[in-house]
Structure 1
Amino acid sequence: MLAIAMAPMAASVYSTALHPCRRRGVLKVAASVSSSPEETKDVVIVGAGIAGLATALSLRRLGVGATVLEQGPSLRAGGTSLTLFKNGWRVLDSIGVADELRAKYLRVQGMRMRSSAGGLDLREFSFEEEAPGQEVRAVERRVLLETLASKLPPGAISFSSKLKSIAGQGPEGTLLELQDGRRLRSKVVVGCDGVNSPIARWMGFTEPRFVGHMAFRGLADYAGAGGQPFEPKVNYIYGRGLRAGFVPVSPTKVYWFICFNRPTPGPKNTDAAALKREALELVRGWPDDLVAVMRSTPDDAVVKTPLVDRWLWPGVAPPASRGGVVLVGDAWHPMTPNLGQGACCALEDAVVLARRLAPAVLAGGDVGEAMSGYERERWGRVFPLTARAGLVGALVQWGNPLVCAVRDGVVIPRLVRLGPFLEHTNFECGLLEPVAPSP
Structure 2
Amino acid sequence: MATSFSSRLLHLLRPSPFSASLRPTRIRPERRIFTSFAGPSENPRKEEIVVVGAGIAGLATALALHRVGVRSVVLEQGDSLRTGGTSLTLSKNGWRALDVLGVGDELRSKFLQIQRLVIRSEDGRELRSFSFKEEAPGQELRGVERRVLLETLASRLPPNTISFSSRLKSIERQGSEGTLLELDDGRRVLAEIVIACDGVHSPVAKWMGFSEPNYVGHCVFLGLGLYPDGQLFKPEVNYFYGRGMRAGFAPVSSTKVYWFITFNSPSPGPRTSDPYVLKKEALDLVRSWPQELPDVVQRTPEDGVVKTSLADRWLWPGFSPPSWANGVVVIGDAWHPMTPNLGQGACLALEDAVVLVSKLRGVIGGRRELIDQVLREYSKERWARVFPLTIRANLVGSLSQWENPVFCSFRNNIMIPKLVRLGRLVEHTNFECESLEPAGSA
- Establish whether residue 173 from structure 1 lines up as the match of residue 178 from structure 2: yes
Secondary structure of 1:394's aligned partner = helix
Match of 1:239 in 2: 242
- Establish whether residue 373 from structure 1 lines up as the match of residue 388 from structure 2: no
Match of 1:153 in 2: 158
Match of 2:313 in 1: 310
Q: Distance in 2 between matches of 1:188 and 1:272?
A: 41
CA displacement, residues 12-56 of structure 1 (integer Å, 9 cap, x when unaligned): xxxxxxxxx9x99xxxxxxxxx85321110000000000000011
Q: Distance in 2 between matches of 1:382 and 1:288?
A: 37
Residue 199 (structure 1) shift: 0.7
Residue 433 (structure 1) shift: 2.5
Q: Distance in 1 between matches of 2:347 and 2:188?
A: 33
CA-based RMSD = 1.7
Deviation larger for 47-56 or 420-429: 420-429
Secondary structure of 1:404's aligned partner = helix
The percentage of aligned residue pairs carrying the same residue is 62
Matches within 5 A, 1:396-407: 396-407=400-411
- Pick the aligned partner of 1:92 from 89, 94, 98: 98
Change (3 A) 1:404 1:99: same
Aligned partner letter, 1:97? V
Q: Distance in 2 between matches of 1:347 and 1:169?
A: 30
Match of 2:33 in 1: none
Contact 1:36 1:182 in 2 (8 A): no
Contact 2:49 2:194 in 1 (8 A): yes
CA displacement, residues 156-182 of structure 1 (integer Å, 9 cap, x when unaligned): 000011111013331011011111111
Aligned partner letter, 2:45? E
Secondary structure of 1:360's aligned partner = coil
Match of 2:211 in 1: 206
Match of 1:194 in 2: 199
- Establish whether residue 432 from structure 1 lines up as the match of residue 414 from structure 2: no
- Establish whether residue 126 from structure 1 lines up as the match of residue 131 from structure 2: yes
Q: Distance in 1 between matches of 2:132 and 2:439?
A: 36
Q: Distance in 1 between matches of 2:185 and 2:42?
A: 11
- Pick the aligned partner of 2:399 from 388, 395, 419: 395
Match of 2:275 in 1: 272
Match of 1:12 in 2: none
- Establish whether residue 77 from structure 1 lines up as the match of residue 83 from structure 2: yes
Note the residue ranges of structure 1 that are not aligned, 5 or more in a row. Answer: 1-20, 25-33
Matches within 5 A, 1:7-46: 36-46=42-52
Match of 1:287 in 2: 290
- Establish whether residue 106 from structure 1 lines up as the match of residue 115 from structure 2: no
Match of 2:4 in 1: none
- Establish whether residue 325 from structure 1 lines up as the match of residue 328 from structure 2: yes
Q: Distance in 2 between matches of 1:421 and 1:143?
A: 27
Q: Distance in 2 between matches of 1:63 and 1:294?
A: 45
Secondary structure of 2:45's aligned partner = strand
Contact 1:61 1:435 in 2 (8 A): no
| 4+ residue runs over 6 A deviation | none
Change (3 A) 1:436 1:276: farther
Q: Distance in 2 between matches of 1:247 and 1:89?
A: 18
- The count of aligned residue pairs is 404
Secondary structure of 1:171's aligned partner = helix
Q: Distance in 1 between matches of 2:333 and 2:54?
A: 13
Contact 2:361 2:439 in 1 (8 A): no
Q: Distance in 2 between matches of 1:427 and 1:314?
A: 23
CA displacement, residues 208-234 of structure 1 (integer Å, 9 cap, x when unaligned): 0000010100011112xx111101100
Change (3 A) 1:175 1:45: same
Q: Distance in 1 between matches of 2:396 and 2:318?
A: 25
Match of 2:221 in 1: 216
Note the residue ranges of structure 2 that are not aligned, 5 or more in a row. Answer: 1-15, 20-39
Residue 364 (structure 1) shift: 4.6
Match of 1:382 in 2: 386
CA displacement, residues 43-82 of structure 1 (integer Å, 9 cap, x when unaligned): 0000000000001111111121110000111001110000
TM normalised by structure 1 equals 0.90
Contact 2:120 2:240 in 1 (8 A): yes
Secondary structure of 1:359's aligned partner = coil
Residue 368 (structure 1) shift: 1.1
Q: Distance in 2 between matches of 1:378 and 1:430?
A: 14
